[in-house]
Amino acid sequence: MMSLFTAEGLGGLVFLFVVAVTVTGGVIATNSVRLPRAVSGLAMCLIGVAGLFYYLNSPFLAAMEMLIYVGAVCVTIVFAIMLADSGAEAKVGRQSAVSAPLSFGVGALLAWGLGLLGITTMWPASPVKVNDGSVTAIGKSLLTTYSMVFELISVVLLMAIIGALVLARAGRDKP
Partner 1 sequence: MSILGLSNYLETYLLIGALLFGMGVYGLLHRRTLIGMLISSELILSAAALNFMAFGRFLAPDPTTGQIFTLFIMGIAAAEAAIALSIIIAVYRNYKSIDTEDVIDLQG
Smallest distance from partner 1 to CB 137, Å: 5
Smallest distance from partner 1 to CB 1, Å: 6
Smallest distance from partner 1 to CB 37, Å: 11
Q: Distance of CA 82 to CAs 33, 71, 85, 164, Å?
A: 16, 17, 6, 17
> Which residues does 140 contact at the CB level (< 8 Å), separation at least 6?
none
Smallest distance from partner 1 to CB 20, Å: 11
